[in-house]
Structure 1
Amino acid sequence: MTHTIREKQKLINRVRRLRGQMEAVERMLEEEKGCAEVMQVIAGIRGAVNGLMAEVVEDHIHMHVAAAELSQKDREEAAAELVDVVRAYLK
């Protein structure tokens, strides 16, 4: 079982909160709210996305890279996947 399935509800709840924040930005733009207010919410969204990514990355490391029962080949593949994703995320 992958960690995203094991932690499914917790991750879904975080995504739903993110969706709510994005909808708030949309409403603010439609209502022509001030730039500072909009930027504050966007900054919160960025932090929430970073938190979600950090949680999934941490679980990936524990379950697919550092788990004692994994073969060296499996660890190397999981590490390579992680490197690719982190590089894409940081662009």
Structure 2
Amino acid sequence: MSHTLRKKTKLLARVRRIKGQLEGIERALDADLACGEVLRQLASARGALNGLTAELMEDHLLEHVVEAESAKARRLGGQEMAEVIRAYLK
């Protein structure tokens, strides 16, 4: 069973919290709040998204590279991770 399936409930809860943060940013902009407050909310949402990304990257590395069942699976897991890192750093 994949790490995303094992942690599905926890991951979805985090995504929903991030979604709530983004909706809060939308409300703040709509309400013409001060830019400093909007920037703080953006920083919080970015931090939450980065934390979720880091957790999934770590879990991927552990399950699909470190603990892979075969050399082929390890290679594929490593290639996937390299692609994700490239996309993440753009």
| TMscore range, shorter length | over 0.9
For structure 1, list consecutive stretches of 5 or more residues without a partner in the other structure: none
1:26 deviates by 0.5
- The yes-or-no answer on 1:16 pairing with 2:21 is no
2:82 match: 83
1:46 match: 46
Supply the distance in 2 between the matched residues of 1:7 and 1:65 (Cα, whole angstroms). 18
- The yes-or-no answer on 1:62 pairing with 2:62 is yes
- The RMSD of aligned alpha carbons is 0.8
Once the two structures are superposed, residues 26-66 of structure 1 have per-residue CA deviations (whole angstroms, 9 ceiling, x without a partner) of 00011000100000000011110100001101111111100
Supply the distance in 2 between the matched residues of 1:44 and 1:18 (Cα, whole angstroms). 9
Report the TM-score, using the length of structure 1 for normalisation.
0.96
Poorly superposed stretches of 4+, deviation over 2 Å: none
Count of residues in Structure 1 that have an aligned counterpart in Structure 2 = 90
Supply the distance in 2 between the matched residues of 1:60 and 1:70 (Cα, whole angstroms). 14
Report the TM-score, using the length of structure 2 for normalisation.
0.97
For structure 2, list consecutive stretches of 5 or more residues without a partner in the other structure: none
1:72 deviates by 0.5
Supply the distance in 2 between the matched residues of 1:61 and 1:84 (Cα, whole angstroms). 13
Supply the distance in 2 between the matched residues of 1:18 and 1:70 (Cα, whole angstroms). 34
